[in-house]
Amino acid sequence: MRNIKIVLGVSTALVIMSFQGKQPLENVKTGTYGVCNCDNSGEGSVQVELTINEDKTFRYVDNSNPAKKVDIQGNWTLQDNTILLKNYQPGLPVSNKWKIDEKCIKSRNGLVFTRLCHIKSCI
């Protein structure tokens, strides 16, 4: 009987320890995240890019819709594995919350889901 209690106690402890959540990131990997077609034809080849700089500034370029090109700059902060974009021109269709996912970041703006991975900048 005593052996059964010890085995159950150890098993329960192992099960509880296996359900630990993700540890928050202490710093974000700076650089360029995006989707681009680097065909050396200039800035028009960029589809979507978010550049995160070490000095807490960012640049976001979205040329996916030629009629509504977006090129903004501002500041960013890190909160619970989420990059928050701040101090940019209001009224533009830009996702201001980007969840960090290993080598990529992802966002949702209404029904538009965007996933950008760490790349070499096209511009």
Classify strands 104-109 and 97-101 as parallel, antiparallel or unpaired. Answer: antiparallel
Question: Structural domain boundaries of the chain?
Answer: 27-119
Q: To which residue do tokens 């360029």 refer?
A: 32
Q: Which residues of the chain have pLDDT under 70?
A: 14-15, 17, 19-27, 36-46, 121-123
| Whether the predicted model's global pTM rises above the 0.85 cut | no
- CATH code for the structural domain at 27-119: 2.40.128.640
For every residue of 29-95, DSSP letters joined together read --EEEEEE---SS-GGGEEEEEEEPTTSEEEEEE-SSGGG-EEEEEEEEEETTEEEEESS-TTS---
Q: What is the pLDDT of residue 24?
A: 47
Cα separation, 38 vs 42, whole angstroms: 8
pLDDT at 64: 79
